[in-house]
Structure formats: structure tokens, C-alpha cells
Amino acid sequence: MVDRAPETVAEIASRTGRPLTTVKNTWTRHPAWPDPLPQRRGRWRLYDPADVDAFIRDHIDRQVADLEPTRLYTAQQLEDAGIGIRAGTIRSDLTRRRWPEPDDTEGGTNRWYGATVTEALAGRRGYRRTEGE
């Protein structure tokens, strides 16, 4: 494995495709953000890319939950399944058309197939498919 050169927050933002303000004002303030290296590049602090990658893996990226493709789930059941989105957010995103329409509304309850949810989550930022998908 080749060691990568230390990176500034601007380089981290560019490499990860995130806004500089997100990295600088949110990620670096997280308690688990790695400590800067002792050297600097100009006025910029430098970070070990491997430490940054571990932080992103553990605190930013989320795995798509393992849902049964043909089972119907309510918003609360999806939250309980650990998809990383609260039931209230699902309902709010539904009204804003940022969440797919329910696959079933029998009894006045919105429910989605696991396959529908998995597809919706795969398109959201911060989610990544597990290997083999």
C-alpha cells in the first residue's frame, strides 16, 4: 500500500466531494475527528488521510440497512431497522417529495417495500451499498 501525503481540509473536501464548509465547520468539530499532524502547509493544518478515511467510514458513511425486499415497512419500522433516518424525517421528506410514494396505504398507514427503501437510500448522500450488490 502506498502512503498518501498529508492533506488539508480543502484537499479532503475535494477528494470526498463534500463542500469545504462541511468538512471545516462540521467534521473537524466532531469529537472523533483525528488530531492534526504537527506540520503545516502554510496556514493549513495537515491530517493523515488514513485517519480521515477511518473517521468517514465510522461516522459519515452509512451502510444501507439489510431490509427484506418484499416486506412492507412503516416509517417507524424503518427507523427501528436502523436505516439512519428517523420516522419523522421520512414523513417530512415524503411531503416534500424527497422520499418515494408508499407502496401500500391500506388502513391509512404508509408502508414501503424493503426494495423501494433500499433503492431510495442508495441514492441519498452518505449511504453506500454493501459489497455484492
pLDDT tens per residue, range 42-88: 999 999 999 999 998 888 876 667 899 999 999 999 989 888 788 99
The DSSP string of the chain is -PPPPPB-HHHHHHHHT--HHHHHHTGGGSTTSPPPPS-EETTEE-B-HHHHHHHIIIII-EEPP---TTSEE-HHHHHHTT-SS-HHHHHHHHHTT-SPPPSB-GGG--BEEHHHHHHHHHTSTTEEPPTT-
Q: What is the per-residue pLDDT for 76?
A: 95
Q: What is the per-residue pLDDT for 127?
A: 46
What pLDDT band is residue 133 in, cutting at 50, 70 and 90? very low
Q: What is the per-residue pLDDT for 34?
A: 96
Q: What is the per-residue pLDDT for 130?
A: 42
